[in-house]
Amino acid sequence: MLVATALIIYASVALWTARCVFARQRAVFVARRAEGRPDAAAEGLFRRQERDQAKAIALLVGASWPVSAPLLLARRLITMAVLRPAPPTGKSGGAAERQRQRQIRQLEQELGLSRVAEPDPLAG
C-alpha cells in the first residue's frame, strides 16, 4: 500500500511538472514567433515544428523531478545570493558619499560651474 501511494504521488508530481514545462516552452515559442503574426499562426507553427520536441523535454524533466527540482531550487537560491546587492554600510557608505560630493564641488569650481539654485517654494 505504501509503495502504491509513493508511486501515485511520484507520477502525479511528474505529470504536473511535465505539464508546467510544456506550457512554458509553448508560451516562449509562440512569443518568439508571433512577430507580426496572429497567435493562431504561431500556434500552428508550434504544432508543426516544436510540439514533439517540447513533449519529450517536458516528459524527461517531469520524470526526473526528484533530481531537477532541488537543482533548480539551488540554482535559484545561489543566483539570488550572488546577485543581491550588498547592504549599505553606515560608516563607510557615508564617507564615500561625502568624498564623492567633495570631488563634485572641486570639479565644479575648477570648471567654473555653479550649482543650479533650487526654486524657492514660497516665491509663488
Give the pLDDT confidence score for residue 65 in this predicted structure.
Answer: 83
Give the pLDDT confidence score for residue 55 in this predicted structure.
Answer: 92
Helix (H, G, I), strand (E, B) or coil at 101: helix
Q: What is the DSSP string of 1-68?
A: -HHHHHHHHHHHHHHHHHHHHHHHHHHHHHHHH-TTS-HHHHHHHHHHHTHHHHHHHHHHHHHTHHHH
Is residue 90 pLDDT above 80, yes or no? Answer: no
Mean pLDDT confidence for 99-119:
79
Q: pLDDT tens for residues 10-29? A: 899 899 888 988 998 888 88
Give the pLDDT confidence score for residue 83 in this predicted structure.
Answer: 84
Q: What is the pTM of this model?
A: 0.53
Q: pLDDT tens for residues 28-86? A: 888 887 676 677 777 888 888 888 999 999 989 888 888 877 887 888 899 888 888 77
Q: Is 112 left (phi over 0), alpha (psi -120 to 50) or beta?
A: left
Give the pLDDT confidence score for residue 119 in this predicted structure.
Answer: 58
The answer to whether the CB of 55 falls within 8 A of the CB of 22 is yes
Give the pLDDT confidence score for residue 122 in this predicted structure.
Answer: 64
